[in-house]
Structure formats: structure tokens, C-alpha cells
Structure 1
């Protein structure tokens, strides 16, 4: 019988102890490895974030040095390393805003979601929203800023918002508060002057000029802008024009803008010396940088000096720059030298964008009564611009200037499909259709505009006015017009709509009462269609002599059918 050997109790305990030790060692190793794995990821993220901040810092320096393309590249690399890093996102948002990039708003939205977001970020984002017409989102941010950071910059934003939404008095009030918050800064005074200058109240426009004179008399970054604004002011006396001229000519290194503003004033003060004034402007700037020469040519064309433009820009010089070429083409068109335009556009070395070139060919064909050729050229220009918003915007405006309304409408229709350009497109369509005198068609476009820009109070007011003009739901639309007047008592256009509503309801006394505003109305400065409503209100209140006197200032051909019907009792037209 074979005996089986069994390990002793001591051996078993030793082996168990060894196994426990091995398990403990391996467990410790595994725990250590797991800890390392868990720790490496945060460390790696931290290293990436640190590098991203370094790249953002480099980008900030490049922005200060004016190297915007290089800065954009650095920000792009930083965001690839740390997509939610505050410094790269905020810097990229500001750079995109500065460059007018369409993605700026999306980047700012990312910044707004970060815990590090500052009041300065919110102010810059609100400013961008106001620039792009997004008054609804801007309102919420500005309301918050007025509670949390009511500094001068916020007051300036509130003034901008109020101005864009039609609150003239509120805008002026916020601008005055901005001055109180930054009494040493000239920029708030300049903003207030701009707001006052747009008023229909002559006293406020006079105050605007007085503010500009004060700013113009002080050293600082706003001095130059104030002098230039005064030079553009339409109501300067002869003495004030002379003062502005002295101030413009006192700049040690005048820019072409300042020089042309000075020339503009000299043309008014010295109407007997245009040849000398034009000659001096050409002598000073005719050999300047391309941008300066283009500004000079544009100014000369605007003053009917097209022959001088052709001398300034011979063909060989013009073809080297699109801006100069456009100025030469414009001069040739004003002189109706269509064959020269055709010849110039056929040059093989022409660098002009094909859509722009076809637009000029179409304009030349129109002017030569070659309607079939013009139609083909316009269609080709539309095809070349299709899908390219900047080209479509150029084509829409150019065709509108050429009175090729059908082409302009097609370009606006294409733009209307793009959310970023829809409001611009609908306003363009509205202008075109209003020129046809078709109020019904204009109302359809106004409805579309309120759909794409529901926060635009001017669009709402336009639709309300057209509804009242056409007699559509008069009661409901009169209530809307009254609400607009209550909210914006200084807006004459809204009071005109309310008056029209009362006329439709046969209440002439209340219609006339809408024109008893806080400031006297300078009727010669108002659109003919507004004057037509006032004429109708005067006539309905048995003030025929006043109605006839005002009617004499209205070009009836600029009124549509419904507006002519309003003044028919006085004009005698039926």
C-alpha cells in the first residue's frame, strides 16, 4: 500500500502567505497603473491648455502689431488644442468681429457659455449684435449690463440700441448719461451729437453742431472726426463753413478725405473757382496710393468731372486696379461712351470680376437700346454671382442704380434665401416694389420682411402703414399704429400712420391731432407720402388753403394710386 504524502500545516500557511503577497503586489501594480492612467489625461489636458494660452498670447501680440492673418492662424491652432479655452475663444471672437467675419457671432456664443466670461465680453458681444441688426438678443444682454455694469460703455450701447429701435429720446438720454460717466472722454459727446443731428427738431440739430464745435476745439482722438462731421453738416452758415475750412486745412498731414471735404466747402464758398479747386485736388492726390486715387476719381465723377477722371486714369493705369477700373468705367458711362466700355471690357489682361464685367456690359447694352443683349448680359451676371453673397449684393445695388429693377429683384430674391442677408434682401425688394406704385405688392414684401426680421420695429410700422393705406383690417392696424406712437412719440412716420388710420375711420379731428407733436414739423424735409396724409387731414378739417399750399410742394408722380386718392379732394385728380 502506497502512502500519500500530505503537506504539513506549516507548508500550507507559507504557500498561502506567498500567494497573498503576490496578489497584493500585483494589485498594487494595477492600482498604480490605473492611477497613472487616470492622472495622465488631466496632465495632458493641462499641457494642451497651457500651450493654447501661449498661442493665444502670441496672437494678441500679432493683433497689436496689425498682423491679423498670422493672429487668426495662431488662434485657430490654439482652439484645436483647447476648443473651450477662454483666452483663445475670447481673442478669436474679437478678431473675427474686427474683421467682419460671419462666424464672429457663433464664437461669441461659445464665450458667453464660459464661467470666465466678463462684462467687457458681454459689451463687445452686444455691440456686434447691434451692428448686425440683432436687436432682440442685444436687448437682453444690455438690460443685464445696465444692472451689473452700468458704466459709460454700457450707456453707449443702450443709446445705440434705443436709436436702432426708434426710441430717439431714450437714446439721447442714455448718451447724456454716458457723458456723465466719462466726462473727460470726447467719444460720448460725439455719439450724442450724432443722435441729435438726426432729429427732426431744428433745435436739437443746432445743439449737435454746438457739441461738435466743442469736441473739435479739444485735442484728442475725437477731434478729427468732429471736424469731419461738421464739414458734412448740411446746415452750416457761411461763417461756420469758413471755420471748418480753416480747421481742415490746419491738419499737418491731411488725408484725402479731409482734403476733399475742404474742397467741397471751397466749392460752396468760391463758386467762381471750380477749375482751380478741381485742379488743386488732382495735383495733390493724382499721384497718390491706389485707394487715394480711387477716392479722388469717385469724388470727381460725383461732381460731373468725368473727363478729368479719364485724364487721371488712362486705360493702362486703370486696368491695374479694380477700384480704378470701376472709376474709369463709371466716367465712360456718364459720358455715354459705350463702345469704349465694350472695348475696355474685352481686354485679355482685364482682372475685373466676371460678374462685375458682365454687369457693366449689360448697362452699356441698356443705354444703347440693345434690350436683347442687355437681358442676356444681366442673366449671365446673375449666373456668375449666384451663390456668392458679396457679388449678389453688388449686382442687386448696381442693377437698382441702373433701373434694371427685374434683375435687381432676382438678385435680392437669391439673397433672401440666405438667413444672414434676408433682411437686406427684403428691404431691397420693398424699395423696388414701392417704386412701381403697387401698394398691394409692397404689402406682400413687407409681410415677408416682418417674418425674417420680427424685431425690426420699422418693418412692423411699414406693414401697419400699408395695411391702413389699403384699408386692410383698419381697426386692428390703427391700434398697432397708436401703440407705436405711444411707445415712440417722436417718430413722425408712426404718427403719420396713426393719422391715416383715423382718416380711414372718418375721424378727421384725431387725424389732425397726430401732427401736434413735441417739436414743429419741417414739412419740406419730409417724404411726399407723409405730406399727402397731412394734406388729407387738413382738407378733412376744412383747412383747404393750408392743404393747397402744402400740396404744391408734393410731386404727385411720386405718390402711388392710394396716396393720390387721399389728396384728390384738393388736387382734383380722380
Structure 2
């Protein structure tokens, strides 16, 4: 009997157990997700604190962990975008673009996107965002201010003023708009009276204890440095900049610059004071001070303030090693590099090993170490950017190309990398590579007439028979006949087609004092010679700095110019 009951109830008991497990699992699932969201919130708080303190790497790590816990954390992407912008990385534009696509994105997110786009040269992105924001039923004062900043960036001060004034009408307490208007009047005063009014306005705003008070102080001091006769050194204003509650080492350095410019005899005392408090500064301020000391070539003071120590932050330690390199301390530098340094950024060790090899005239070791530095940087855009900058600073143009080409492989940083490649490719005379750069730029910035024109110009230098380049040259010229770059491209096209008289006519339409680039001068000289104006062609050829000609441009005037000058 008991066996029969067991056989009857066992299946039902098993089913009940399974049902209970399912119920418990369903009940625990929301708890599990809630726990993950809570954990993500904890990471976000840490990321935000690290970002405010200037610890970018920690902020990135914590924000990334928050995203792992909660892939729908919009705030985590915002933190990553802010961090990238503070680090000077153009990847912040891609991150803010991602934020703007979320349904929960706010107006301030679009403002951040447009501001970042302007900072890193994505003008078309900024223009699009401003259009979207202005199309809202009721744009805020921040949107009008952004439109003003865009107009100022496009060198349209009158339109910029209108937008700033509209922001002020909407919110009479908008200190940012008042600062913008005052700065506009200071940089492009209509008369002496407007300049003085701007100074008075900024002095009043400088009393504020918020970001706009600090910005007003920065503007005043920066302007005074540019125009020392108009505003002599003011100890009170310098002290106000240093002591502002939001001021950091950046502001202390700006005030010191002003004082040393006006009173060089104060330099030693200022340096002693700044170096004396170096060890007590937080790491972000230590980095700022070390960079400032090196910028002024106070290398001994850099080493005194921040002796080589593996415990220094990587950014500050780089400055110390730079100072040692500048002073030729190669033996000390090589010994120090034998330590376990920059474990998270090994490219820096290879960078300084390459620098030491270069200065010791060991070209082969330099090349090997430099390749290793680029390889060690991997896909870290900030490190690749730094390697490229460092190579250019050393005059190692080919090494800079290697770093920027690696940076180009990162989609968010591709545009920045392409723009950075222009200068080294020009210096190396690699016109074919330069043309490929502009070919890609034309795809990324299809509405940029300057890019289209430069692409057509380079294509015509390399392939005179290219029909598409000829058509683009004419289209661009017809739309902008008075711009020398556009006229030179059209003239080159006409010259290549055996019509030098048309080429000369196009160049003569441009004021002579605006034909300043060696390439434009070469095109004009070659066109004049082809048209039979040999005397004038010789005059233009004599003006050319041939050291800045591309090989193909040099070929245009090879029989008219001698060696480089």
C-alpha cells in the first residue's frame, strides 16, 4: 500500500519541487538585477569622485565597471565622455554622440556634444547639434550661448553677439552669457569705450565664487599678458586668480606667468615657493606644475620638485624623465629605466629608451625601441597621440607617422589622426600618402569645401588627367573665386590641360599679397611662364621658399629656381 502511494505521489512531489524552484528563481531575478544596479551605482559614484579629482584612469575603470554591471547606464557613458574630453581625446565626440542617441538624452547632453565637437574640429557635428537644439519650441539660454560660441568660432562676431544677447534676454542672470559678451568686446572691441566696458564687466564678474568668476579672472589675466601696456601687472588680480575657490595649479601657473613677464626679477622667488609646496600637491596639480616647469625649461627645478621615483604618477614621472633627457642625464635615465616602471603604460619605458638611444646617436636601437613603443601602446589613443607628439617634438617625423597611423586604426580617433598626419607627410614629401589622407577626409567631411579642394589639388599634382579632380577644381573655384587656395587648384587644373592663360587669369583675380603659400606661388609662376610672361614668372619664382614645396610642386618650377632657401 505504501509503495502504491509513493508511486502515485512521487511525480506530483517532483513537479511541485520544480515549480517551487521556478518560483524562487523568478522571485530572485529582480533581486539579482537590483543588486547589479546598486553595484553599478557604487562604481558610478567612485568614477564621478575620481573624475572631479582629476584621476582619469580610475574614473574610466570605475565607469567601465558600472557599464558591465548595468549596460543601460547612460550616466556611465557620460562619465567616460567627460573623462575623454578632460584628457584631450577626440573620442569624447563619439561618446557624446552615443549619449545623444539615447531616448533619455537631455538638452545638456546635446550641448556637451556640440561643445566637444567644436573643440576637436568636428564643426559639421557641432552645426548639426546647434540646428537641432535651436529647432526646439523653447531653446534654453545655454543653447543660445552655444550658438554664439559656434558663430564666434566661425569668425562671425556680430552674429555671436546676437546669440549671446538673446541668451541674456532669456535669463538676465546668465553669468556665462555676460562673460561671453565681455570677452567678445575685449577681443574685438568696436571702440576704446567698449573695451573698457568689457574690462569693467569682467572685473565685476570676477568677484563671483563660481566657474564664471574663475573664467573671468582667466580672461583678464590672459588679456593682460597679451597687452601689458594696456594693463600692467596687478598683484591683487593675480592673488584673486590664485585664491579663487575653484582655482588649481593651472591658475597659479597663469598668475606666475603674468608676474614673471612683468617682473622677471621675481622669477627665483616664485619658483622657490612653487617647488617648495610640490610634494604636498595632489597628483593632478603635481602634473600641472611639472608640465609648466618644463614648458619654461626650468628642468633643474622639475627634478628638484619631483625627483625620479616610481611612486610618482605616470604623468608627473614623464615630466621628470623629460627634464632628465633635456639635461642630458642619459646614464641616470637608463639606470632608472631598468626598474619596473609604467606597468600599465609600458610604451613610456620604450619611448624614453628610444630617446636615450637617439641622443647617444644609435639610430638602429632608436628605430627598434620606437617600434616597440608604438606596439606597446596597442589601441590606447591617448598614448599613441602622445607618442606622435613626442616624435614631432624630437624632429623624428617618420616616427610620428608610425604613431598617428596606429591611432588612425581607432574609429573614434580616425579624423584626429588624419589631421595629425598632414604635417609629417608634407614634411617627408610623401604626396601620395597625403592625397590618400585627404581622400579619406573627403569621405568623413563631405561638406567641407576646403578638404574637397585640397583633395582635388593633390590629385591633380599626381595625376593631371584625373577628370573628377578637374571637375571638383572648377566647381570649388566657381563657388569661391577669390580664395587663393581654390584659385590655385583651378589654375593647376587649367595649366595641366594646356590652358595657361586661363590659369593666369584665375590667379590674377586674387590679391597678390594673399598668394603666400609656396605651392600657390609655384603654380602661379609656372602658369605665367606657360603663358609667355617669363619676367613676371621669374619674380614669383624668386619669392618661393622651395624647402616647403612638395616634389611635384618643385617640378613645376624646376627650371626657374635654384637650391632651397
Query: 1:266 Cα deviation (Å)?
Result: 3.3
Encode CA deviations 1:128-162: one digit per residue, 9 max, x unaligned: 55566655565444323323244433334444556
The range that moved more, 60-69 or 208-217, is: 60-69
**Contact map agreement 1:111 1:117 (CA 8 A) in 2:** yes
Q: Indicate yes or no: 2:133 matched with 1:145.
A: yes
- From 462, 469, 490, the counterpart of 1:501: 490
Q: Indicate yes or no: 2:510 matched with 1:514.
A: yes
**Aligned equivalents of 1:423, 1:338: Cα separation in 2:** 37
**Aligned equivalents of 1:206, 1:63: Cα separation in 2:** 48
TM-score by length of 1: 0.69
Encode CA deviations 1:335-363: one digit per residue, 9 max, x unaligned: 22211210110124665732110111011
Q: Indicate yes or no: 2:292 matched with 1:303.
A: no
**Contact map agreement 1:496 1:514 (CA 8 A) in 2:** no
**Contact map agreement 1:450 1:459 (CA 8 A) in 2:** yes
Encode CA deviations 1:178-220: one digit per residue, 9 max, x unaligned: 333325434235556778999xxx8789999778635522224
Equivalence for 1:333: 325
Q: Indicate yes or no: 2:219 matched with 1:237.
A: no
- From 471, 475, 478, the counterpart of 1:476: 471
Q: Indicate yes or no: 2:356 matched with 1:364.
A: yes
**Aligned equivalents of 1:394, 1:421: Cα separation in 2:** 13
**Contact map agreement 1:467 1:477 (CA 8 A) in 2:** no
Encode CA deviations 1:240-275: one digit per residue, 9 max, x unaligned: 352566522334616432332233233333356654
Unpaired runs of at least 5, structure 1: 1-40
**Aligned equivalents of 1:205, 1:481: Cα separation in 2:** 37
Unpaired runs of at least 5, structure 2: 1-25, 53-58, 86-90, 495-499
Equivalence for 2:9: none
Residues 1:109 and 1:236: Cα distance change in structure 2 (over 3 Å): closer
Residues 1:292 and 1:72: Cα distance change in structure 2 (over 3 Å): closer
- From 99, 102, 117, the counterpart of 2:83: 99
Residues 1:569 and 1:299: Cα distance change in structure 2 (over 3 Å): farther
| 1:250 partner SS | helix
Equivalence for 1:248: 238
Encode CA deviations 1:505-564: one digit per residue, 9 max, x unaligned: 444354243349xxx97x9xx766677778999999999999979977x75423334555
Query: 1:74 Cα deviation (Å)?
Result: 11
Encode CA deviations 1:374-412: one digit per residue, 9 max, x unaligned: 222122223322233333333333233333333332332
Residues 1:388 and 1:273: Cα distance change in structure 2 (over 3 Å): closer
Equivalence for 1:16: none
Encode CA deviations 1:7-64: one digit per residue, 9 max, x unaligned: xxxxxxxxxxxxxxxxxxxxxxxxxxxxxxxxxx9x9999999999999999999999
Q: Indicate yes or no: 2:183 matched with 1:225.
A: no
Q: Indicate yes or no: 2:177 matched with 1:188.
A: yes
Query: 1:365 Cα deviation (Å)?
Result: 0.4
**How many residues are paired up?**
505
- From 282, 285, 297, the counterpart of 1:292: 285
**Contact map agreement 1:215 1:226 (CA 8 A) in 2:** no
TM-score by length of 2: 0.70
Equivalence for 1:314: 307
Encode CA deviations 1:87-137: one digit per residue, 9 max, x unaligned: x64x455444333396996786587564x7665555455555556665556
Residues 1:62 and 1:350: Cα distance change in structure 2 (over 3 Å): closer
> Which structure has more RCO (C-alpha within 8 Å, separation ≥ 6)?
1
**Aligned equivalents of 1:147, 1:464: Cα separation in 2:** 35
